Amino acid sequence: MTTEKTYDFAHAEKLALTVLDTARAHNTPLVPEAYRVWFEYAAGTQPSLKERIDAIVETAQRVSPPELRRVHEEFFEAEMPDSGMDRLTNRLNAELEDVIQLLQSNLSSQSDFMGTLGEVDQQLSVETQAKDLKTLVTLLLAKNRQFYENSREFHDHLQNADDEIKQIRRELEELRQDAFVDHLTQIPNRRHLDKILREEMDRARQSKKPLCLAIADVDHFKKFNDTWGHHIGDVVLKQTARILSRNVKGRDTAGRFGGEEFMIILPETSLRNARNLCDQMRKTLEKLSFVIKSSNQHIKDVTASFGVTVMRPDDNEASLIERADKHLYKAKENGRNRIVASD
């Protein structure tokens, strides 16, 4: 999940100027979508976005406007699941348009001031009478006051825009959490798992390193709902999610695949190590027990079955998931509370 990175004003201003230079170097019109891509690229907040841009530059030397639009669609538009996201995106685009106009206005003001200095310098290089010198000084003072007022207004407006953009980013992050986090278990949901799996498969193809996928299913889950009610079934799911998520680290991801099924994505992990990790999870689940306070009933015997596989060169997302799913059902057929791992 992405997390909001905050910037102090000076850093944000420096990044904004870097965006202008980069857009000019690539000859890409600075529309809001382009500004967002170049800003994230300059800030380095999304390594995968930076890798994608660098790959384009390495091949074609520059990023064309159509390519920039494709990058924006891939990294940002896929994260817009509802009208709330669209509303915030429109607000963000409006603020970015204001920032672009402010930057262009400030650059124009700087250019005008520098032009005046150049004219005065030319006139001072020739013999100047006292009255002419006074006129030049008056002109410089007036231009300096104007430049100072323009700069102060620019900084005030940019600070206000910075505050508004931070607020929009916070609201976007809240919506993104709603879109990508399972409400019951508070771990990644199917939408987020699909996104991560797609990215990790691309990365595995490039790095030639293994990528393992596991699907786990809580055994006899219907029994918990039928015997003690759906509330206890929810507790079992939440406890299972807690155990799985605590046993992954780094770029590993455990999320809720749907119902009582969970997915574990394990980049740069051999099939043997993936199996060992899932066995550790399985054994921890075996020890899970809790008491229903209202009835003082002791809940235990929570187990899960796992299907584990490793990505093949010709795999796509569907084939990799299907193979892990087949191994899971084989584990179920073989008696549950066990692991079937195979390539």
Q: What is the tens place of the pLDDT at every residue in 316-333?
A: 988 999 999 999 999 999
What tokens appear for 316 in the block?
Answer: 């796509």
C-alpha distances in angstroms, 268 versus 167, 205, 249, 285?
37, 11, 12, 25
Predicted pLDDT of residue 32? 78
When computed from its CA atoms, the radius of gyration of the chain, rounded to whole angstroms, is 29
CA 201, CA 194: separation in Å to the nearest integer?
11
Whole-prediction pTM: 0.56
In whole angstroms, what is the distance from residue 38 CA to residue 71 CA? 10
The count of other CB atoms within 10 Å of the CB of residue 35 is 24
* Cβ neighbourhood burial of 222 (10 Å; 0-12, 13-18, 19+): exposed
For 1-21, the pLDDT digits (tens) are: 344 455 566 777 788 888 888
**∠ CA(309), CA(210), CA(313), 5° rounding?**
80
| CA 2 to chain centroid | 4
Provide the pLDDT for residue 67: 80
Confidence band, pLDDT 50/70/90 cuts, at residue 306 = very high
Residue ranges of E strands in 137-232: 211-218
Kindly state the helix (H) or strand (E) to which residue 305 belongs, with its residue range: strand 304-310
Q: H helices then E strands: how many in the chain?
A: 11, 7
Most confident stretch, 59-63, 103-107, 158-162, 275-279: 275-279
For strands 297-299 and 261-267, give the pairing: unpaired
What count of other Cβ atoms lies within 10 Å of the Cβ of residue 264? 27
Percent of the chain with pLDDT over 90: 34
123 has pLDDT over 70? no
| Most confident by average pLDDT, 34-48, 154-168, 185-199 | 185-199
Strand pairing category for 304-310 and 297-299: unpaired
Window from 10-14, 31-35, 130-134, 164-168 with minimum mean pLDDT = 130-134
Q: Which of 51-60, 108-117, 177-186, 212-221 has the lowest mean pLDDT?
A: 108-117
Domains along the sequence of the chain with CATH: 9-79 (no CATH), 83-180 (1.10.287), 190-341 (3.30.70.270)
Please give the structure tokens belonging to residue 30. 């600075």
Residues labelled as active-site residues? 260
CA 115 to chain centre: 43
Separation of alpha carbons 94 and 99, rounded Å: 9
Q: What is the DSSP string of 314-342?
A: T--HHHHHHHHHHHHHHHHHTTSS-EEE-
Looking at residue 327, its pLDDT comes to: 96
Share the mean pLDDT of the chain: 80
Q: What are phi and psi of 210, to 5 degrees?
A: -70, 150
Identify which has the larger pLDDT, 110 or 38.
Answer: 38
Residue 188 DSSP symbol: B
pLDDT in tens, 228-267: 888 888 999 999 999 999 999 999 999 999 889 999 999 9
Tell me the pLDDT tens digit for each residue of 46-77: 777 888 788 888 877 888 887 887 788 767 75
pLDDT of residue 19: 85
CA 148 to chain centre: 39
The token pair at 221 is 């889950």
